């Protein structure tokens, strides 16, 4: 039998229960074996292979969850920053039609490089060619809930749904497959009902965009969707910007997991979600970036910083410290991962290490560190990211993949989509 690898992360500021504590972690294989206080003392006398890191006061946080994105859309980043939605969509659709399983594979790897370098360990996605995406996630080493974007406006809804159903078999330990009805304005009620029935019988997650724009608000309310059964599924509702009291009540009554994407909402001129009200009602909140075509980065740090500041402008008084502290566990649960999002013995070693030795973290004392992360630091301070005890990002490098090969192939695919080659 292969010996279990032991990793020791010593002299760290560990984030637990909303506070930072000085201590060390012992990781055995995929799991956190011990959360210790003070410095590590090797008294085991064991001859097991041990990887020792003196973190010299760096912070250890649970891995960030990005609960909503469209990873392969990194190739559409910066395509149209100011065009009206219709023009933007035309340009994207023209290129999306040329995407194949190869391009989706390389772009999903590239997106994971970006996310891992910003401390993200787990993400929720809605796109297509899930086989290529699952392969990319398994190779890179992140965790993901992948859903196939489902639309029936063009008469091809059934084919897409059948494809999504076949892809359910790709589910495994780190990759989960769910159903991804795009939105109530691209899916008929009959289609949503069929999707809901299948999701319930298969016991899989459903991800859908809801009430993102003011125009959508004129089209439907959440109450209109109740009869489709969508809220009886294990549902992740994305955006929920244009919501009223009745919509919020439905989200609460059906215990819907919510992925807020505030930067994308701002960039597309859709408004700001009522985070204060949502938190007071005890809704299950998490943070997502949406795709790079509308954000334009896959950086959850930016989401928190932006939310904390804009809330003041729109007079939302929510506790951003609490939202931040809860987002790790909430995010993991919303995506269907049970034993992660928390630094606790027996939990998966899914961790983010942040270099709080940087001058922007001065004075570097435990009770100010959340404030420093939210208002002074940025994702460039992430030093390393670990999933299941394996480093997927470490000091500027990506140990599980060939960075240059990914960049080379992504560029080649970009040039093909643009019609340059």
| Interface segment toward Ni ion; rule CB under 5 A; list 8-16, 289-297, 367-375, 411-419 | 289-297
**Least Å distance between CB 125 and Ni ion?**
9
Quote the Cα angle for 118-389-298, to 5°.
15
CB nearer to Ni ion: pick between 194 and 290: 290
CB nearer to Ni ion: pick between 125 and 167: 125
**Least Å distance between CB 316 and Ni ion?**
22
CA dist 306 and 311 (Å) reads 8
**Interface mask (CB under 5 A) for Ni ion, residues 234-273, using x and -?**
----------------------------------------
**Least Å distance between CB 109 and Ni ion?**
20
Edge-to-edge order in the sheet of strand 234-239: 64-69, 120-127, 143-150, 175-181, 205-210, 234-239, 257-260, 284-287
CA atoms within 13 A on the CB side of 235: 29
CB nearer to Ni ion: pick between 14 and 258: 258
CB nearer to Ni ion: pick between 59 and 335: 335
**Least Å distance between CB 263 and Ni ion?**
12
For 363, counting Cβ atoms within 10 Å of its Cβ (0-12 exposed, 13-18 middle, 19+ buried), the class is: exposed
**Least Å distance between CB 141 and Ni ion?**
24
| Interface segment toward Ni ion; rule CB under 5 A; list 71-79, 167-175, 190-198, 285-293 | 285-293
Point out the residue whose Cβ comes nearest to Ni ion: 290
Q: Which two tokens stand for residue 361?
A: 């973290």
3-state secondary structure of 60: strand
**Least Å distance between CB 89 and Ni ion?**
13
Ramachandran class of 128: left when φ > 0, alpha when ψ lies in -120 to 50, beta otherwise: beta
Q: How many residues at the interface with Ni ion, by CB under 5 A?
A: 1
Closest to 235 in 3D by CA, of 339, 145, 306, 310: 145
CB nearer to Ni ion: pick between 50 and 153: 153
Q: Which two tokens stand for residue 261?
A: 């994407």
Among 290, 303, 355, 413, binds Ni ion (CB under 5 A): 290
Strand segments (E) across 78-127: 120-127
CB nearer to Ni ion: pick between 81 and 415: 81
What is the residue whose two structure tokens read 């190739």? 75
**Least Å distance between CB 375 and Ni ion?**
27
CB nearer to Ni ion: pick between 95 and 348: 95
* Contact footprint for Ni ion (CB under 5 A): 290
């Amino acid at each position: 039998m292969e010996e279990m690898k032991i990793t020791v992360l010593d002299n760290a500021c560990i984030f637990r229960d909303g506070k930072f504590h000085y201590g060390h972690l012992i990781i055995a294989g995929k799991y956190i074996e011990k959360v210790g206080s003070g410095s590590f003392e090797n008294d085991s006398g064991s001859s097991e292979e041990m990887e020792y890191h003196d973190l010299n006061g760096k912070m250890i946080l649970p891995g960030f969850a990005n609960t909503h994105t469209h990873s392969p859309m990194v190739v559409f980043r910066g395509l149209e920053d100011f065009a009206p939605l219709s023009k933007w969509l035309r340009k994207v659709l023209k290129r999306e039609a040329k995407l194949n399983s190869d391009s989706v594979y390389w772009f999903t790897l590239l997106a994971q490089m970006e996310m891992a370098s910003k401390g993200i360990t787990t993400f929720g996605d809605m796109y297509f060619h899930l086989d290529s995406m699952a392969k990319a996630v398994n190779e890179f080493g992140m965790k993901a809930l992948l859903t196939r974007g489902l639309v029936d406006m063009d008469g091809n809804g059934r084919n897409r749904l059948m494809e999504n159903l076949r892809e359910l078999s790709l589910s495994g330990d780190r990759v989960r497959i769910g159903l991804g009805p795009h939105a109530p304005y691209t899916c008929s009620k009959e289609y949503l009902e069929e999707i809901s029935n299948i999701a319930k019988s298969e016991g899989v997650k459903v991800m859908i965009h809801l009430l993102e724009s003011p125009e959508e608000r004129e089209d439907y309310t959440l109450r209109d969707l109740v009869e489709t059964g969508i809220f009886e599924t294990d549902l992740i509702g994305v955006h929920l910007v244009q919501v009223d009291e009745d919509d919020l009540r439905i989200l609460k009554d059906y215990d819907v997991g919510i992925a807020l994407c505030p930067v994308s909402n701002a960039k597309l001129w859709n408004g700001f979600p009522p985070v204060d009200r949502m938190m007071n009602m005890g809704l299950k909140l998490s943070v997502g970036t949406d795709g790079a075509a509308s954000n334009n980065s896959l950086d959850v740090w930016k989401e928190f910083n932006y939310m904390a500041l804009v809330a003041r402008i729109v007079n939302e008084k929510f506790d951003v410290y609490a939202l931040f502290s809860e987002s790790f566990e909430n995010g993991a649960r919303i995506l269907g991962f049970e034993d992660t999002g928390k630094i606790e013995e027996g939990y998966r070693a899914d961790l983010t290490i942040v270099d709080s030795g940087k001058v922007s973290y001065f004075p570097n004392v435990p009770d100010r560190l959340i404030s420093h992360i939210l208002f002074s630091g940025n994702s460039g301070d992430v030093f390393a990211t670990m999933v299941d005890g394996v480093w997927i990002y470490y000091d500027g490098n990506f140990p599980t993949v060939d960075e240059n090969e990914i960049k080379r192939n992504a560029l080649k695919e970009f040039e093909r989509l643009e019609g340059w080659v």
